[in-house]
Amino acid sequence: MNRLHSILVPVLLLSLFAAAAAQSGKNNSERTKKANKRPAAEQPEPTPPPLPGDEIESDDIITVDTNLVTVPVRVLDKQGRFVGGLTEKDFKVFEDNAEQEVAYFSNEQNPFTVALVLDMSYSSTFKIDEIQQAALAFVTELRPNDKVMVLSFDEELHILCEPTNDRKTINNAIIRTRVSSGTSLYDAVSFVINQRFHKIEGRKAIVLFTDGVDTTSQTALDRDNLREASELDALIYPIRYDTFADVQAIESGRMTLPDEQNKTIITPPINGGNIPTTGTKNPLPFPLPTGTIGGSGRPSRIPSGQGTTREEYDRAAAYLDRMALLTGGRVYEANSPENLSRAFSKIASELREFYSLGFYPADTEPGRIRRLKVKVSKPGVAVRARDSYVVRAPEDRPKFAPDTN
């Protein structure tokens, strides 16, 4: 009996242990299955990437999904006043009539990066001090966290400062602008879009001061700029002035323009031909030798008469209108110092009045135009936003070498 007991007890204990282990495994399996069957809403939420415009600590590592489409949006009431205080829930965004999930939202308080691009060719209606004073006043109306990049262009592109919110650096850059011959407008816009703004996250705007007529670009055309603008998540605000009558007068020798000291000089021909210096005084702070561009010693590459016809001016106006329309910006006309200052001021005001929406499109095939529509739940308001976008195709764009001095 004792021997039988000694055999049965261990066997019985082993059986009980195995049964308990099996039950434990079953319970664990059931718990796993139950956990897997939880509704999606109960799943732990992944940590979202930072919103565009958020400040990132230098030791943070972030991954940017380049398929994100961001749409600047301005909401106005019936009196044309900005409607602030809206939240993500007030907005819906549609691509080709299909509603998209809003992945990112930022309100009107988030900062902008602004590229201030100034046409400093001889054809400008304005004196250099008028341009500088208006640009300096524009900077004072931006918010302290807004960053500004200052560029000027004539035949060459001059990077006067990279994006910064240091107002002293920005102001010094504006004051360093100088007038010269040639107008490489398309190259300048292409450089900002491809070599600067596609590398900058957050809200962006280009303020483009020009008559829109290009005479010396070497790497880009107007249609290149328009395609690139449709791929860019930035506003473009052209400040346009009409120089057609002045250019005709200068070309025919019937008009002279004041220099920086308000002294009258014979102005170099707009088409880049030989500069008439015989019998004239040149009070400008750089020499103007015959047959060169702006005293640089380089031969002019501007074909005679280019940039002087009515057809070219009409094309320039259409180019600037289209740039603004594609991006949700606006063209401002400025044909007097007062209008110029007012245009800069209005743009600075509008940049404080934009929301930004972001979504990830299902179709990321490059090149095809997608139609956009933004709706706001608040009644009686008007929504202003770009109406289309194009996915950027990976390609090697020509590199335009700017003057960084």
Q: How confident is the model at residue 256 (pLDDT cuts 50, 70, 90)?
A: low
- Look at residue 364 and tell me whether its pLDDT is greater than 50: yes
Residue closest to 146 by CA, chosen among 356, 392, 351, 374: 351
What is residue 159's predicted lDDT score, i.e. its pLDDT? 96
Percentage of the residues of the chain whose pLDDT score is greater than 90? 48
- Look at residue 143 and tell me whether its pLDDT is greater than 70: yes
Give 34 or 241, the one with higher predicted confidence.
241
Instruction: Look up the pTM and report it.
Output: 0.69
Which range of 48-52, 56-60, 210-214, 248-252 scores highest in mean pLDDT? It is 210-214
What is residue 30's predicted lDDT score, i.e. its pLDDT? 42
Residues 310 and 325: their CA atoms lie apart, in Å, by 23
Q: How confident is the model at residue 284 (pLDDT cuts 50, 70, 90)?
A: very low
Q: How confident is the model at residue 404 (pLDDT cuts 50, 70, 90)?
A: low
What is residue 401's predicted lDDT score, i.e. its pLDDT? 56
Rounded average pLDDT over 104-129: 88
Residues 164 and 337: their CA atoms lie apart, in Å, by 27
- Look at residue 405 and tell me whether its pLDDT is greater than 60: no
43-52, 84-93, 101-110: least confidently modelled range: 43-52
> Rounded mean pLDDT of the chain?
75
- Look at residue 98 and tell me whether its pLDDT is greater than 90: yes
Q: How confident is the model at residue 202 (pLDDT cuts 50, 70, 90)?
A: confident
What is residue 177's predicted lDDT score, i.e. its pLDDT? 95
Rg of the chain (C-alpha set): 31
Percentage of the residues of the chain whose pLDDT score is greater than 70? 67
What is residue 249's predicted lDDT score, i.e. its pLDDT? 73
Give 244 or 360, the one with higher predicted confidence.
360
What is residue 274's predicted lDDT score, i.e. its pLDDT? 33
Phi, psi values for residue 281, rounded to 5°? -105, 135
Rounded average pLDDT over 174-190: 94
| Angle, helix 167-175 to helix 128-141, in steps of 10 degrees | 170
What is residue 365's predicted lDDT score, i.e. its pLDDT? 80
157-171, 197-211, 280-294, 365-379: least confidently modelled range: 280-294
